[in-house]
Structure 1
């Protein structure tokens, strides 16, 4: 559906003969029907990357291919046709403040040449999908931030795109509203089969809805793959920061100092079915070990349960401790001994 082939983008700097590389040698593939996320801090090159998909930016080198066509090589009429199949939602909503919700959907359609009857039918259909039909006569100023973003989503869907681009669409929303928008994007992907390509600096967005992720750092992809794999086994420091990976799970090391002598402090990472396994009670039964939970968290990577625990395995029998570690690994739980 979307392919970046060795794509670089360089902008002219403010000083003469100075250039800024926004994106450098990026290659990635987005499959039809998946939700693909690109994660990075401000200035990483995310916005440049997403704008090359619909031709708002052209690569300095390499190719961006959408539906088998090189975007930069398209004529203006063909580029216009492509853009009609690519919807886009933004952090700032970009709604017409002097038009009501219904008009915000219909007007862009009529400007595209769609007759008023068809435009009206689409506005009704997609405002119902985003649960805003009852607000059709309201103006943007009368809506909450989440409702405005839903209008923006409906407006994008009304063009019936094959691809939906999301440019930091939830970063201005509170956590509860963010969750509602992410649930909506999941619904759109699952029920309408629309491919979603999003950029964000929010780890929760990637965890909640993405199938795959690329981590972008200073224009370069440093890690890429399945969301569960990338964020449960991060290789790069920037990915570890995003994932909040710390062997002490945020517990200050001076608090953990009393556990240093026995060296039986471990970090456990559960993914999928192993998250439902009563592992700690089994350690008590099988090895006479008393687990002391010092910190932990539980969540989901899209549909996969995921959890982390910092546990002190209390026992005076070192052989039982070693046997317990092996048992933990045999249950498909990732375990690391923590140095304090």
Structure 2
């Protein structure tokens, strides 16, 4: 559906002969029907990438292919046709403040030449999908931030695109509202089959909805792949920072020192069904060791349960400890010994 082939983008700086490399040799593919996320800090090049998908920016080198077409090679007419396949939602909503919720959806459709009756039918259909049909006669100022974002989503969907682009769409929202928008994106992806490409600096957004992710660092992809793989076993420092991965799960090392002096500290990561199993109880029964959980967290990587634990394991004999670790690893749990 979307493919970046060795894409680089250079902007001319404010001073003579100054050039800024925003994106460098970026390559990845977004499959039809998946939710793909690009994560990075401000200035990493995320916005440049998303603007190249709909042709608002053209690559200096390389090629961006969308729905089988090279975006840079399209004529103005062909580019307009491509953009009609692409919906976009923004952090700032971009709603018409003097138009009602329904009018915010109907007016852009009629400007594109759609019959007014059909435009009204689409407004009803997509406002019902985002659970805002009862607000159709309200104005944006009368809505909460989350409701305004839902209107923006409905407006984008009303054009019936194949691709939905999300440009930091949840970064201005509180956590509860963010969760509602992410649930809506999942619903849209599952029920309508729309491919979603999003950029964000929020780890929870990637974890909650994305199938795959690219971590962008100063215009270069640091890591790319399935979300579960990238964030449960990150290879690069920036990815570990985003994932909040530390072998002590944030517990200060001076607090852990007394435990480490007496027994072994281990860090465990669970993904999928294993996260719901009473693994440590089994370890205690099988190997006569005493596990004590010092820190932990549970959540989801999209639909997969995911958990992390910091455990100190009291074992009288080395072979008990070794046997316990071997058993834990055999249960598809990632294990690391923690050095303090």
TM-score (normalised: structure 2): 0.99
Tell me the CA shift for residue 284 of structure 1: 1.3
Q: Does 1:186 align with 2:186?
A: yes
Q: Which runs of 5+ in 2 are unaligned?
A: none
Distance 2:321 2:283 in 1: 10
Aligned residue for 1:83?
Answer: 83
Aligned residue for 1:258?
Answer: 258
Q: In structure 1, the residue corresponding to 2:53 is in which secondary structure?
A: coil
Whether contact under 8 Å (2:37, 2:199) holds in the other structure is yes
- Superposed CA offset, 1:66-120 (max 9, x none): 1111111101011000001100000000000010101000000000010101101
Distance 1:149 1:44 in 2: 25
Tell me the CA shift for residue 149 of structure 1: 0.2
Distance 2:155 2:244 in 1: 35
Distance 2:156 2:69 in 1: 22
- Superposed CA offset, 1:9-42 (max 9, x none): 0000111111001100111100000000000000
Distance 1:284 1:218 in 2: 47
Aligned residue for 2:206?
Answer: 206
Q: Does 1:232 align with 2:232?
A: yes
User: 1:1-340, aligned counterparts within 5 Å?
Assistant: 1-340=1-340
Q: In structure 2, the residue corresponding to 1:261 is in which secondary structure?
A: helix
Tell me the CA shift for residue 196 of structure 1: 0.2
- Superposed CA offset, 1:231-275 (max 9, x none): 001000000001110000000000011023245110011111111
Distance 2:77 2:252 in 1: 60
Whether contact under 8 Å (2:263, 2:313) holds in the other structure is no
Tell me the CA shift for residue 276 of structure 1: 1.4
Whether contact under 8 Å (1:263, 1:338) holds in the other structure is no
Distance 2:129 2:276 in 1: 34
Distance 2:69 2:249 in 1: 46
TM-score (normalised: structure 1): 0.99
Task: Show structure 1 runs of 4+ deviating over 4 A.
Answer: none
Distance 2:175 2:243 in 1: 18
Distance 1:332 1:322 in 2: 16
Distance 2:56 2:168 in 1: 17
Aligned length: 340
Q: Which runs of 5+ in 1 are unaligned?
A: none
Whether contact under 8 Å (1:7, 1:60) holds in the other structure is yes
Tell me the CA shift for residue 288 of structure 1: 1.1
Q: In structure 2, the residue corresponding to 1:16 is in which secondary structure?
A: coil
